[in-house]
Structure 1
Amino acid sequence: MNTVQLGKIKIIDPRELWSNEERDFTPWLAENIEALSEAIGFPIEVEQTEKAVGKYELDVVGKVVGTDKVVVIENQLEKSDHKHLGQLVTYAAGLNASVIIWVTPYVEDEHRRAVEWLNEITDEQVNFFLVRPEAFRINESLPAVKFYVETAPSHFVRNLREAYKREDAPRHTFRRMFWQEMFDYLAADNHPNAKGRQTSADSWVGFSVGKSGVSVNVCMGQGSKLRIELLLSASTREQNEKAYEMLKRKQIEIEKIMDGETVLWDEMGSAKSCRIAVNYAYDKARAEDDASYRKELFKWIAPNLSRLRRVGAEYLAKGNE
């Protein structure tokens, strides 16, 4: 009889990994933001660490990938306390944040309840998360960290509220189903930023490429077309034009990466952003009713999403000229 040998998990004190919150833990969290993104269900891109907000300093500020939604992250290595809760709310107000995340390895019950209450009294535009990092080893292995969401907005309730408020709820219902099935398909294929993603009623979802102001979005475009776009959405038109022109100089290389897909090069007229994209015409009515047809669409989305993320990472995130 074969016996499977299993290692023993040993929980370790986070101070064994990071002796100082500001110098050690905050930089590590910023560099490993995808692990936190996976835990909370949507991708975050870091813009700055130790950002001044009035006379205080916020640990991490960023955005939800492909949007203007501000994310603030306050982290600590000790038990949750009133000081950090107060700072979190102060930073959220000062930056008009949409996503507020408190990362602490030891969660006190009164602080969990405080975050739950904040979610209860705010609408879907403001979302509070309480996240616990757990450090561990298996036998004598290298240490590892896993994030556990202790409390988060009730998206079921908020999505239901949104559906009641809008007349076009059937369209939103289809989008949520489509995106959820797409995330599941991509996660099964080990695609980054797909596992654990929360579904959305929006007509697009975004994926990070590792650079602020650049994202790859999957969109339900007008005219029953799926679109995957590498969107350049930095704060100024000049920045986006510069990045676009750099990509344009690499057009032959990029179109080779896209493996025969027709690439749309779009400066987007007077808009601030620029993009390159690929399109796929689909039957929306069939997509609503036919799961096997949706899977065909996901088979087109998956490789092209990976290709455009590769373009973003190789030509923009790494600063290639």
Structure 2
Amino acid sequence: MTNNYDLGKIETVELRKIWPHEALDFTKWLAEDENLQLLGDTIGTELELIEIESSVGSFNVDIFANEVGTSRKVIIENQLEDTNHDHLGKIITYASGKDAEIIVWIVARARDEHRQAIEWLNQHTDNNFGFFLIEIQLWKIGDSKAAPRFHIVEQPNEWTKMIKLSAELTETERVKLSYWTQYNEIAKRNPEFLQLFNPQKPSKDHWTTLRCGTSDYHIALLIDTQKKCIGIEFYVPDNKEIGHRAIAAKEQFEECLCLEARPFDAKKASGLRFYKSGYDIKGNSEKWPEYIEEQIKWAISMRYLINSLDL
């Protein structure tokens, strides 16, 4: 019996057919918000453009950016050809000149010796640094438009970095790291959550950031090990108009979350914080999944409310 399935064949597209010039075409394309977001989704972070062709002494790095939520500096160097020693040297020079902690090298094809070099850098730098070697590909099916795909060739080994980090932490910091590690695992099993958010990698901080598709604001989940409470916040870094609109809508936030709002309006940042007490993080690790599930529900509800308010 013959099955007639109408299937297409995936074909690769020559990069230079779409981006003839690396700086004038590819770098400008990548710097657009939606494309920078695509790259950020690939490496697990949210990127905010600072400038293209950013000066480093007598040289220029293709893209200079921030990691949203941490303000860690990011450099992105593009090479629409095979990797070479020249560009390997450039990314180290640019990282030093820009004090960058996230280094992204995008190439047409990664040679094995350069993959090994990036792997070595990730193994021998401290926990704050991350080197990514990424191949950019273009695919199409039949007469469809070419679609970009970022393929990670080399990236930080988060498990190894986490072990190294844990050894350097205080007891309280280790508790926070463990809590957010478990949160990350639980969040990635929640389909509705994953449609709205991309969980941030675990950290030793008292918060974890949830990006909302804009650099104007984000949601953060909170824990306070001393006061034994968990929380959530709507955080606006420096857009007072949005921050004040959120504060004006605090009753709607309260009704949505069934929590009491604590508005804040600092010199730059503004927004709303919500806490719920009676959650012993340090002494009750077996109940962490319950705590985390509650925070995930808050995050989903807040995201829907934000969308309805058009903030």
The TM-score bracket by the shorter chain reads 0.7 to 0.9
Which residue does 2:124 correspond to in 1?
121
Which residue does 1:244 correspond to in 2?
240
The number of residue pairs the alignment matches comes to 298
**TM-score, structure 1 normalization:** 0.81
Determine whether 1:54 maps to 2:66.
Answer: no
Instruction: Describe how 1:101-180 pairs up with structure 2 within 5 A.
Output: 101-168=104-171, 169-180=174-185
Which residue does 1:319 correspond to in 2?
none
Note the alpha carbon deviations across 1:30-68, whole angstroms, 9 max, x for none.
221111111111222111111111111111111111112
Which residue does 2:297 correspond to in 1?
299
Which residue does 1:281 correspond to in 2?
276
Deviation at 1:266, TM superposition (A): 0.9
4+ residue segments displaced more than 6 Å? none
Task: Specify whether residues 189 and 156 from structure 1 end up closer, same or farther in structure 2 by C-alpha distance, changes over 3 A only.
Answer: closer
Which ranges in structure 2 are unaligned for 5 or more consecutive residues?
none
1 CA distance for matches of 2:8 and 2:45?
31
1 CA distance for matches of 2:191 and 2:158?
21
2 CA distance for matches of 1:7 and 1:257?
48
Which residue does 2:190 correspond to in 1?
185
Deviation at 1:80, TM superposition (A): 1.1
Q: Select 1:266's aligned residue among 261, 264, 267.
A: 264
Determine whether 1:230 maps to 2:274.
Answer: no
Which residue does 1:219 correspond to in 2?
221
Which letter maps to 1:17? I
Deviation at 1:167, TM superposition (A): 3.3
Q: Select 2:204's aligned residue among 183, 187, 201.
A: 201
1 CA distance for matches of 2:72 and 2:117?
23
| Contact persistence 2:198–2:210 (CA under 8 A) | yes
Determine whether 1:96 maps to 2:91.
Answer: no
Determine whether 1:14 maps to 2:10.
Answer: no
Note the alpha carbon deviations across 1:239-289, whole angstroms, 9 max, x for none.
x3xx32564267546865886455543123xxx542202414163456753
Task: Specify whether residues 310 and 163 from structure 1 end up closer, same or farther in structure 2 by C-alpha distance, changes over 3 A only.
Answer: farther
1 CA distance for matches of 2:296 and 2:285?
11
| Contact persistence 1:43–1:207 (CA under 8 A) | no
Instruction: Describe how 1:14-93 pairs up with structure 2 within 5 A.
Output: 14-31=15-32, 32-93=35-96
2 CA distance for matches of 1:293 and 1:205?
14
SS of aligned partner of 1:77: strand
Task: Specify whether residues 202 and 174 from structure 1 end up closer, same or farther in structure 2 by C-alpha distance, changes over 3 A only.
Answer: same
| Contact persistence 1:206–1:217 (CA under 8 A) | yes
Deviation at 1:73, TM superposition (A): 0.5
**TM-score, structure 2 normalization:** 0.84
SS of aligned partner of 1:104: strand
| Contact persistence 1:136–1:145 (CA under 8 A) | yes
Which letter maps to 2:14? D
Which ranges in structure 1 are unaligned for 5 or more consecutive residues?
233-239, 316-321
Moved more, 15-24 or 251-260: 251-260
Task: Specify whether residues 230 and 306 from structure 1 end up closer, same or farther in structure 2 by C-alpha distance, changes over 3 A only.
Answer: farther
Moved more, 162-171 or 125-134: 162-171
| Contact persistence 2:219–2:299 (CA under 8 A) | no
- Aligned-pair identity in percent equals 27
2 CA distance for matches of 1:72 and 1:153?
15
Note the alpha carbon deviations across 1:127-170, whole angstroms, 9 max, x for none.
11101111100222111111111111111011011112223223
Deviation at 1:191, TM superposition (A): 1.4
Which letter maps to 2:240? Y
Deviation at 1:307, TM superposition (A): 4.0
| Contact persistence 2:15–2:137 (CA under 8 A) | yes
Deviation at 1:226, TM superposition (A): 1.1
Task: Specify whether residues 274 and 290 from structure 1 end up closer, same or farther in structure 2 by C-alpha distance, changes over 3 A only.
Answer: closer
CA RMSD, 1 decimal:
2.8
Deviation at 1:193, TM superposition (A): 3.7
Deviation at 1:215, TM superposition (A): 3.5
SS of aligned partner of 1:190: helix
Deviation at 1:306, TM superposition (A): 4.8
SS of aligned partner of 1:85: helix
